[in-house]
Structures are given as C-alpha cells and as structure tokens.
Structure 1
C-alpha cells in the first residue's frame, strides 16, 4: 500500500471499519486487508469481499465518443467520460464504462447530445480480466 506523510491508505480503510493497524510489514498488511474484506458493508449484510467479487463479475461496456466535438467536452466530462490520450494504444478519445444494461441509454445520449445524428459508437465488452489491462 502506498503511504504518505499522514499515514497509510490501509490505515484509513481500517479506521473506517473500526480497526487499528500500526505495523508496516507485508504479512501484517495482508492480514489487515483480509480483515477489511471480511467486514460487512454499512447498511448491508454482505461482506466487502462479496461486494468486490460481485462488481468484478459484472459485465460492462466501454463506449468511445470518438471524434466528438471539442466544444462538447464539458458535457462528456459531466456525464462521467474520461479522456484517453492514446499513448497506450487505445483510441485518443473520450470514453465511459457503463453496465451492459445501460449501453443503449448511453448510445442514445451520444446520438442526441454529442453527435446530433445516428451513430454507432465503438463499444468494447469489459470484464474483470481486461478492465484494467492496457492490452484492451
């Protein structure tokens, strides 16, 4: 875990679940993380690990707003789009990840607000394996 001058992010997470952690040995950090994942989330009876696994298994779609008008970048940013500079082989474009069930709504937003015409934006199915890979 990365540490800053005010303590560790791990310590912050532990404090959020009412635990304290002072050691900075790898094995202690791993045990602390297991404790965090074992805790039930607030207002639910599910553990952090159960929520993490559910989210990791959820299929999402990455929708690219390629060649979108520059003057509409604020509308894309407000909607949650992020910029890819293309340095990692991905398109140089704005993009957003949405649940598969919301892909049609997002495509309609691009058609009616960004492009003002019927378009089929580039879409990629994302999963736990390729979501954070630079090879997608």
Structure 2
C-alpha cells in the first residue's frame, strides 16, 4: 500500500489545528488511560491500524493491561471495565457509529451520570479528535513505523 499526501508537510496549519485539539485534551484533566481507551476503541471500529498500534502501545506505557486491551472490543461481555469506563465506551461507540443512528438519550444520560460536565465535554472532544485522526490516517494511508 502506497502512502498518499502528507498533510503535515503540505498544509502545516491544518495539522496544527488537530494538534491544538490534542493540546486541549492533554490539559483538560481527562484521565490519560481513559483517553487511550477512547482512542483505541474508536480506532478498532474505524479499522485504523496506525492509530491502533500507537494507542495500544501508549495505553500499556500508562499501565493499561494487555488483557483489557485484548477484550476492549468485547467490553460489554466482561467485568474488567468500570461503570464509568463502560459509559465512556458506549458514548465513544455511539459517536463513532453515527451512521447507525443518533446518540441515544440513554447512552448520553449514562455518560452524564458518571462524568463531571468538564469530563463529559473532554470525552466528547476526545471522540471527535480520534475520529478525525483515524480519517486522516486511513485516507492518507499513513503507514506503521
């Protein structure tokens, strides 16, 4: 598979805008391990090998267990994830799969129950960010290092 356009070189300002969102998320107070779970789950759904490779590695560096990462796509069938993580994963999936329908009130209210307003805002923006990165990496055929 041949790599396509390198947006960071062709249009650095576009790339810097995405980096700006990442900087916000790093300063938002969002738990870093939870953020890696969001990024990994959305990347699984989107089929982004580049991002999956990066974010599973980053998650393990933060102390995430291989077992939880192996079972992330089956999180509903395991008790390895907290109620808060489950609420965030449900929201992540729903936002990532918008073509399947709207984010339901049940999913949103469950996330709202487990997150502060600032955490909820950060989680929503985290899902937006990783879906953007997935679409960039897949479209440009960003290859694994």
TM-score bucket of the superposed structures, by smaller chain: under 0.3
* Higher relative strand content: 1
* Higher relative helix content: 2
